[in-house]
Chain A
Amino acid sequence: MRCDGVVSIRVPASHQARHFGRLTFWALGATLAAAVVHAAMPGLGARLGSYRSGIVTAALFALASIYTIRKRWMWLTVRVMRIAARMPHTIAHRMLIADRLESWRLYHVIIGAAVLAPFWWHLDQGAGASRLEAALAAVAILLMLSGLAGAIIQDFLPRAMRVRPEQEVRPEDVEAAIHDVYVQAEEAILGHSEALVHAYLKHVRPVMLGARPARAMLLATISGADPAAPVVARLRAHKDEAPNEAETWERLVLLAQRKVRLDHNRFNLALGAGWMRLHIALAIVLAVLTAFHVAGALYFAGL
């Protein structure tokens, strides 16, 4: 009954969704497999030629991008389920499992990594590439790398976030909590000595209104260290600036601690969403550059 050192309750395994383990392993495995296939068949690129290897590469990229459509619209799922309804029960059940977004994510990652092989063969044919093609190759590699980074982030970030007591799951809830903490701190000093108010304005309020550096937050996420610890230590060192107000000061320190942890919570949520924006932006740039590349190839080299 122990989960991460905390006694917890647990969903029985039979109820859990089809879990494909760590996505990172699948992504790395598929990349490695693509690299091995490329190394094992060095002459295949030449046999396929530029056009065919390019078409296969573009087709696999397009196939991988269906995930994003499935993710945003249920239309595809509903169509699949209508077909499933006409199938025998066992097949229909398998289609249901195969259509889960969890399964689609796995297809996306495997296809996205496997595209490396035809892409590499295509690059092998590209002696004397133009700047556009060099940029296209760079963006494609960046896209794959950002995908790998995404797999790592999605695998490890949820657990990293659970280390802290602040575990809001929506950005608006984090903002509301931060506002609440600030209001509590401002109310806590009402009616107290001038020394405490000065110490608050000098040391605590900047924490309440300021943001922590992203680098420090990222390090805290990776290392699992509490980003509030140095802030708390620094504030406790200023305890003497408000003599006879130790209790209130401690309360303010704890509020500052919560604020920093909420900042960390907000950073982690932004990290989870931020890499995705980068990944999508790279995919769009890739699509645009590919369109130019294909048009250029057809115009200058012809079919």
Chain B
Amino acid sequence: MAEHTNQVAIDPAEIWRTLRQFDAFSTFTDQQRESLEHAIAHEFGMTVRRYAQGDYICHKGEFELDLCIVLSGRAEVHDRDDRGVEVHTVYEAGSIFGELGAMGGRPRSFDVIAAQQTLVFHIPRHALKHLEINEKLRGILAERYRERAVRAMSARVELFAPVPESFIDELIPHCQIARYDLRGVPILEQGQAVDGFYIILDGFVQIVRHRADGQRRVLAYLREGEYFGEMALLGTGNAWASVFTAGKCELIKIDAGEFAELCRRYPAVERAMREAIVQRQHQEDTITDELSDLLEKSGQLGVIQSDALLVMDLDRCIKCDNCVRACESLHGRSRLIRNGVQIGKYLVPSACRHCDDPKCMSACPTGAVARRPEGEIYFKYDVCIGCGNCAIACPFDNITMIDTPSFDLAQARKAEIVGGRDFFRPYPQTHHDAGAGLLARLFGWHQEAHATPQTHEHVAPSYPIKCDLCDGLPFMGCVHSCPTGAAIRIEAAELFEEIGAVSARSHIRKANEGK
């Protein structure tokens, strides 16, 4: 397992002695303390790191899913938020930051820089439970998360662009965070009274309208940064359409009465909402029965939530299998199977979709499934233990576990293709002979190497592989090797661009090529 260069070896009891001085840890019972100390000693990723003055503790935009507690020293934020408002925050000893990443899986909002020599206790997302066993700390974290999430999201919601910062300050006390884990959970029911205005913090919701003739039509999918409940707020008070979760999602619910009052004081918000209402009512006329079915099917199959979807235009695909061959040629083993669901004239083959809400990431016990700032999901093989949870969790079977020798060969192949840029192997090569050359195998040299006493290193029997969008190459093998241009990598939402049923927001460069 790789260690951070600035990691400091401190006895768990010593860490606890520092933590207990902070107010947030004041109510820990002996049992909770023991549990925490045990976790610090055994849970992967719970580390203390030392930062010199000027070192970056967090990088803005990175998906580092650690909660950070300053044990000693001082860290600072000097930045501007998405609204352009200057932010200056000082984190003294005892300060906690990184809740948005650790609790919400969102990227860092700001660069955090050490102002002097600083010791920071990092608690990865999967280890948060060891802190949340304490009621007081759980409450503090939840409260801070609510405030930061609302503030961060408000800065990005177009609706709030024309209002001053004071509006957000007034808004925060009236906000609640609502989390949903399953698809199809009703949030609003058409015709029923609505007691809140909702902003989507994460995930997708489905807007469904039941028509007078009894037909049910899916009108749109709303995503992070979009809102609903405005028609009830400015109209009859009843929901114009039903709203269901389209998977795991998180919402900010604002009390309807308080928000209406705020809107009266800030008419720009109300004006923007009225414009949105006209647009949404127009949407009902655009969506035909067939389109509604396509939208429904795409939501059910999880296609909507894909940030980088591989689609094959069946009007052009000549079924030559070149895409699969190219993948195999580049990676040693194909990460693509030309079999999957069909949406309209597009085949969605089995290949990683880089989901908006990756189940593999949530299922990984060591944080080995990570996201790049651009949105691509990748494996950190240095922390992978080969448990296979990601492969089990992927609802689309797009992750394959392969035995370690095959994995090593595949990594070596990729390294060779990318031109000597050494791809990381999570174990010493001498542990098995998969990578040994012909001469080495003939003369048994690899066996000597095998005997090197490195047995303390852990080698998992298998490792996961999946499409990494040909990381390190300027093209994607499957798309680049399609003789007819049938293979296209795209954000799923863009398939519905013409009807405006889903807004496209993928940051993945290779899914945005051509824009």
Contact = CB atoms under 8 A, between A and B. Distances in A.
A15 B492 CA distance: 12
Interface string A1-32: 10110111111101111110000000000000
A158 interface: yes
A71 B318 CA distance: 14
Contact of B514 (A1, A15, A99, A162): A15
Contacts of A11: 311, 313, 346, 488, 490, 494-495
Contact of B494 (A15, A159, A162, A272): A15
Contact of A10 (B473, B479, B498, B514): B498
B108 to A, nearest CB: 29
Contacts of A158: 314-318, 484, 486
Given A11-B495, A17-B482, A170-B338, A157 B315 contact: no
B417 interface: yes
A158 B320 CA distance: 11
A257 to B, nearest CB: 20
B326 interface: yes
Nearest to B289: A7
B249 interface: no
A102 B485 contact: yes
A102 B474 contact: no
Contacts of B494: 11-12, 15
Of A18, A73, A92, A101, chain B has the most CB atoms within 10 Å of the CB of A101
Interface pairs A-B: 8 shortest CB-CB: A17-B485, A7-B290, A8-B344, A9-B495, A74-B329, A105-B483, A15-B514, A14-B514
Interface string B415-446: 00101000000000000000000000000000
Interface in A145-190: 154, 157-159, 161-162, 167, 169-170, 173
A17 B498 contact: no
A15 B488 contact: yes
Interface string B488-501: 10100011111100
Interface stretch (A79-87, A125-133, A134-142): A79-87
B203 to A, nearest CB: 21
Interface in A261-278: 269, 272-273, 276
Nearest to B511: A15
26 contacts: A1-B499, A6-B344, A9-B496, A14-B514, A16-B485, A18-B485, A19-B316, A71-B481, A72-B325, A74-B481, A81-B473, A81-B475, A84-B474, A100-B480, A100-B482, A100-B485, A102-B483, A105-B484, A158-B315, A158-B484, A158-B486, A159-B315, A161-B314, A167-B314, A170-B339, A276-B320
B262 interface: no
A1 B485 contact: no
A183 to B, nearest CB: 20
A269 B344 CA distance: 20
B347 interface: yes
B69 interface: no
A7 B288 contact: yes
A78 interface: yes
Given A78-B419, A82-B419, A101-B481, A14 B515 contact: yes
A248 interface: no
A4 B344 CA distance: 11
Interface in B447-500: 473-475, 477, 479-488, 490, 494-499
B4 interface: no
A5 B487 CA distance: 23
B330 interface: yes
Given A11-B488, A16-B488, A100-B485, 13 more contacts: A11-B490, A17-B487, A71-B322, A72-B329, A78-B473, A100-B482, A102-B482, A102-B484, A105-B484, A159-B315, A169-B312, A169-B338, A273-B320
A232 B482 CA distance: 38
Contacts of B513: 15
B291 A169 contact: no
Contacts of A81: 473-475
A127 to B, nearest CB: 40
Interface string B272-292: 000000000000000010110
Contacts of B344: 3, 6, 8-10
Given A8-B345, A74-B417, A74-B477, A101 B322 contact: yes
Nearest to A3: B345
A161 B315 CA distance: 8
Contacts of B342: 167
A102 B315 CA distance: 15
A224 B480 CA distance: 32
A169 B33 CA distance: 58
Interface string B205-237: 000000000000000000000000000000000
B329 A73 contact: yes
B17 interface: no
Nearest to A79: B419
B19 to A, nearest CB: 49
Contacts of A15: 488, 490, 494, 513-515
A78 B417 contact: yes
A212 to B, nearest CB: 20
Contacts of B290: 6-7
Nearest to B490: A15
Contacts of A6: 290, 344-345
A269 B314 CA distance: 13
Contacts of A99: 480
Contact of A16 (B317, B321, B514): B514
A23 to B, nearest CB: 8
B330 to A, nearest CB: 6
A290 to B, nearest CB: 26
Interface in A49-106: 71-74, 77-78, 81-82, 84-85, 92, 96, 99-102, 104-105
B345 A101 contact: no
A178 to B, nearest CB: 15
Nearest to B512: A15
B338 A1 contact: no
A6 B290 CA distance: 8
B514 A9 contact: no
Contact of B485 (A8, A19, A162): A19
